């Protein structure tokens, strides 16, 4: 989320509120599993694999240790999860001989079992990425509502022309680099037309027609929407 309830603010709240802590860990279980999968290239399942318990404890540790100077929380949490998972493998004698390599490319000599394992891991990554995307979209819809924007309205407001779409994206990116304009937008919930016109050549009516789309892009670009931001970029 972007403003009143960003992920970083929820993390600070979770340090004092056990219920919020539990909620955060539960919501980001797919993120934890996806991080470990990308690290070791192995299918993991909650309730069966110790690595996921280690990952959840590492996520908890990241919450306790996080401060804004460490940048985005999810980036910091990913780093902590990776470190703790490596510690786990080093300390656990039973796991010493387990293969912990990324997914290998298919070759002529790859066995049928390896093909099946590779397929299962790819399906797992796809499934977890879809789950993370679903969670992001739910949070995004909530944020849009705070701005009086319904998701259907955003779909209808999306420009048909790629050139205009790119122009609106450039405007959104410009606003994110100008704190004074961004702060005005946040405080008024209105697109600061005059300020934008001073810096970017665009017809006022075209800017007004793109208001919903531009605001929606700014929310993605400045919020904790990693997958949606990749889509925008």
* 151-179: pLDDT as tens digits: 888 888 888 888 888 889 999 999 999 88
Q: What does the pLDDT look like over 111-159, one tens digit per residue? A: 544 444 455 555 656 666 777 778 788 888 888 898 998 888 888 888 8
Residue 143 in domain: no
**Largest pairwise CA distance in the chain:** 67
Contact present, 56 and 31 (Cβ < 8 Å):
no
Mean pLDDT (the chain, rounded): 79
Higher pLDDT, 108 or 24: 24
- Residue 46 above 50 pLDDT? yes
Residue 141 in domain: no
Residue 102 in domain: yes
Residue 11 in domain: yes
Distant-in-sequence, close-in-space partners of 20: CB < 8 Å, separation ≥ 6: 10, 13, 14
160 is in which domain, residue-wise?
Answer: 151-232
Instruction: Quote the CA–CA distance of 171 and 215 in Å, as a whole number.
Output: 10
- Shared domain for 88 and 161, answered yes or no, is no
- Shared domain for 32 and 100, answered yes or no, is yes
Residue 63 in domain: yes
What pLDDT, on the 0 to 100 scale, is given for residue 119?
55
Instruction: Write down which residue in 109, 136, 163 finishes a domain.
Output: 136
Instruction: Write down which residue in 102, 136, 170 finishes a domain.
Output: 136
- Residue 103 above 80 pLDDT? no
- Shared domain for 48 and 115, answered yes or no, is yes
Residue 15 in domain: yes
- Shared domain for 73 and 35, answered yes or no, is yes
Nearest CA among 47, 42, 36, 40 for reference residue 117: 42
Indicate the number of domains in the chain: 2
- Residue 217 above 90 pLDDT? yes
- Shared domain for 161 and 104, answered yes or no, is no
What pLDDT, on the 0 to 100 scale, is given for residue 2?
42
- Shared domain for 31 and 96, answered yes or no, is yes
- Shared domain for 167 and 127, answered yes or no, is no
CA dist 116 → 123, 124, 182 (Å): 10, 12, 49
Higher pLDDT, 134 or 94: 134
What pLDDT, on the 0 to 100 scale, is given for residue 6?
81
- Shared domain for 47 and 158, answered yes or no, is no
Instruction: Quote the CA–CA distance of 58 and 52 in Å, as a whole number.
Output: 10
Instruction: Write down which residue in 79, 102, 136 finishes a domain.
Output: 136
- Shared domain for 17 and 78, answered yes or no, is yes
- Shared domain for 95 and 54, answered yes or no, is yes
Contact present, 214 and 191 (Cβ < 8 Å):
yes
Label each residue of the chain as H, E or C: CCCCCCHHHHHHHHCCCHHHHHHHHHHCHHHHHHHHHHHHCCCCCCCCCHHHHHHHHHHHHHHHHCCHHHCCHHHHHHHHHHHHHHHHHHHCHHHCCCCCCCCCCCCCCCCHHHHHHHHHHHHHHHHHHHHHHHHHHHHHHHHHHHCCCCHHHHHHHCCCCHHHHHHHHHHHHHHHCCHHHHHHHHHHCCCCHHHHHHHCCCCHHHHHHCHHHHHHHHHHHHCCCHHHHHHHC
Q: What does the pLDDT look like over 172-201, one tens digit per residue? A: 999 999 888 898 898 888 888 888 888 787
Q: State the pLDDT confidence band at 21, using cuts at 50, 70 and 90.
A: very high
**Out of 57-66, 96-105, 120-129, 204-213, which region has the weakest mean confidence (pLDDT)?**
96-105
Residue 1 in domain: no
Average pLDDT over residues 24-29: 90
- Shared domain for 33 and 107, answered yes or no, is yes
- Shared domain for 39 and 117, answered yes or no, is yes
What pLDDT, on the 0 to 100 scale, is given for residue 128?
63
Count Cα neighbours of 211 within 13 Å in the Cβ-side half-sphere.
14
What pLDDT, on the 0 to 100 scale, is given for residue 125?
60
Contact present, 81 and 28 (Cβ < 8 Å):
no
What pLDDT, on the 0 to 100 scale, is given for residue 203?
80
Residue 28 in domain: yes
What pLDDT, on the 0 to 100 scale, is given for residue 155?
83
């Amino acid at each position: 989320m972007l403003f009143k309830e960003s992920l970083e603010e929820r993390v600070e709240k979770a340090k004092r509120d056990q219920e919020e802590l539990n909620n955060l860990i539960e919501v980001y279980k797919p993120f934890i599993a996806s991080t470990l999968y990308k690290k070791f290239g192995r299918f993991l399942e909650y309730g069966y694999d110790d690595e996921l318990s280690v990952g959840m404890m590492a996520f908890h540790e990241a919450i306790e240790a996080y401060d804004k100077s460490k940048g985005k929380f999810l980036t910091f949490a990913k780093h902590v999860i990776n470190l703790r998972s490596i510690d786990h493998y080093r300390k656990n004698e039973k796991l010493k001989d387990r293969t912990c390599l990324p997914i290998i490319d298919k070759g002529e000599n790859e066995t049928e079992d390896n093909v099946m394992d590779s397929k299962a891991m790819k399906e797992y990554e796809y499934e977890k990425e879809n789950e993370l995307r679903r969670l992001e979209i739910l949070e995004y819809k909530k944020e849009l509502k705070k701005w009086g924007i319904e998701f259907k309205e955003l779909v209808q407001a999306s420009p048909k022309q790629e050139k205009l779409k790119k122009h609106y994206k450039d405007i959104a990116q410009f606003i994110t680099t100008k704190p004074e304009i961004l702060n005005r937008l946040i405080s008024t919930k209105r697109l600061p037309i005059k300020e934008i016109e001073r810096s970017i050549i665009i017809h006022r009516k075209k800017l007004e027609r793109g208001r919903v789309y531009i605001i929606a892009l700014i929310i993605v670009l400045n919020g904790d929407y990693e997958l949606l931001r990749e889509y925008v970029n």
